[in-house]
Chain A
Amino acid sequence: GAGVSQSPRYKVAKRGQDVALRCDPISGHVSLFWYQQALGQGPEFLTYFQNEAQLDKSGLPSDRFFAERPEGSVSTLKIQRTQQEDSAVYLCASSLARGSTYEQYFGPGTRLTVT
């Protein structure tokens, strides 16, 4: 079946622009995660949804970052007034349910470059 998809795959934004990154999880997956992967580093947790509820946003680096999942399926990560330090690959993952018993399936990521 279809895996996790993300769009766009690449995004170039000028400093100060707003961007929106989309994630389509695997159908039926309750849990959805966003991670940020800086160049040469491992992914770092940003936020977690269970269905439409955002249960943890402790990893969001600033109030310029906002995520939503209004119908418990597709999720959007929005970054306002982008800065150069926001340049990274943004990964979305979904899992059938909460807990490490359930594998997190990752999308291909969106590479954001802020110029």
Chain B
Amino acid sequence: GDSVTQMEGPVTLSEEAFLTINCTYTATGYPSLFWYVQYPGEGLQLLLKATKADDKGSNKGFEATYRKETTSFHLEKGSVQVSDSAVYFCARDSSYKLIFGSGTRLLVRP
């Protein structure tokens, strides 16, 4: 069935470091791809999305490009902040529902 695989955490970075969180998805159909973020004590929030191959989603300095040839949707940010510390989930849609990866915890130290 449809699935999403993302790199395990935790990922620990110093402030202003470059971030990459890897995500790959099963290539069935023509899915839309998403990154959700869960800040401590809060609910899941949509961070960015891309709906077709070569699309780039971006928000709050984060970017991810829909790569059909490698079935990937890696999350990147050029300079992380302490406030970016959270759990990040990659997801694809499967019809109307979302299929999530297992999440990657990011900890940014001052």
Tell me the A residues contacting B by CB distance below 8 Å: 3-4, 31, 33, 35, 40-45, 48, 56, 59, 91, 93, 98-101, 103-104, 106-109
Q: Count the A-B residue pairs with Cβ separation under 8 angstroms: how many?
A: 53
Category for how many chain B residues contact A: 20 to 34
Main secondary structure of the interface of B (DSSP, over half): strand
- Say yes or no: A48-B43 contact (C-beta < 8 A), given A40-B103, A42-B102, A100-B32: no
Main secondary structure of the interface of A (DSSP, over half): loop
B32, B44, B51, B102: which contacts A106 (Cβ < 8 A)? B44
Q: In the complex the two chains form, is A45's CB within 8 Å of B103's CB?
A: no
Of chain B, the residue at the smallest CB distance from A6 is: B43
Of chain B, the residue at the smallest CB distance from A97 is: B96
Report how far A98 CA is from B97 CA in the complex, Å: 9
In the complex, what's the smallest C-beta–C-beta distance from A53 to chain B, in angstroms?
13
B25 located at the interface, meaning its Cβ lies under 8 Å from any Cβ of chain A in the complex: no
